[in-house]
Amino acid sequence: MNTRLTILTIIAALSLTIGLGSCSLMSGAKYKKAIEHADKNFNEKQYTDAKIFYTQAQDIKPKDEYATQKIKDIDNIIKAQSIATQYKKTLAEADKLFEQESYSDAKTAYLKASKLNTKEKYPKEQINKIDAILAEIQAQKEFLNNPYHIVIGCFAVKANASKLNEKLISEGYKSRIIPMYSGKYNAVTINSFSGNSDAYNNLNSTKEKFQGGAWVYKK
């Protein structure tokens, strides 16, 4: 009786061992198949499908480092792709606003784009351009608020006026071009003032510096 019980116990143990071995083989086959599908999709840049198969492999072998690392890699790739798409969209919006001369809104969009991609120089360059434009707009407003101007040159050809204007600006002067006589002539100013007396007080020193060719013009 004891011998029979021992034999039955051995048979049961063998059956269990064989069953476990069979399950292990099946799990190994399923894991291998899942990894093969996952790697294929990953190499083809089908990251969503690849993640599904790597997750299946991870479910079969929870401690598997390969599947776990691949899932992390995919998450990083998808995140980077999302940021790149958002950067491209934001940059397009910024460029459109810049073309429309909506400089403040464009600057906000370029700042957002720059934060999305800190390595790109273009948004930063555009921000610098906008800052210069806004500074010029502010200077122009101040200029228009001052009715008295010291003029040092008047040209029929605007290109000549622009050349002198650029030269004066490069030398640090607050030079502007004022159209005169219905736009037939272009007066180049060296400075502007809110009052008549301030303008004439500066006229003599301007004449000395520019050899006499200067006068006060009230716009």
**Residue 171 belongs to some domain of the structure:** yes
Query: So what's the pLDDT on residue 212?
Result: 64
| Domain ranges, residue 190 | 146-218
Q: Evaluate whether 123 touches 156 at the Cβ level (below 8 Å).
A: no
**Residue 191 belongs to some domain of the structure:** yes
Q: What is the DSSP string of 19-46?
A: HHHHHHHHHHHHHHHHHHHHHHHHHTT-
- Which ranges of 148-195 does DSSP label H, i.e. alpha helix? 158-170
Query: So what's the pLDDT on residue 27?
Result: 73
The residues near 24 (Cβ < 8 Å, ≥ 6 apart) are none
Number of domains in the chain: 1
**Residue 116 belongs to some domain of the structure:** no
The CATH number covering residue 182 comes to 3.30.70.1070
pTM for this one?
Answer: 0.58
d(CA 174, CA 143): 9
**Residue 194 belongs to some domain of the structure:** yes
Query: So what's the pLDDT on residue 9?
Result: 53
Query: So what's the pLDDT on residue 2?
Result: 55
**Residue 109 belongs to some domain of the structure:** no
Q: Evaluate whether 38 touches 54 at the Cβ level (below 8 Å).
A: yes
How far CA 106 is from CA of 57, 97, 119, 127, 218, in Å, comes to 48, 5, 19, 8, 36
**Residue 106 belongs to some domain of the structure:** no
**Residue 28 belongs to some domain of the structure:** no
What residue ranges of the chain have pLDDT lower than 50? 1, 5, 8, 10-23
**Residue 2 belongs to some domain of the structure:** no
Query: So what's the pLDDT on residue 12?
Result: 47
d(CA 88, CA 83): 9
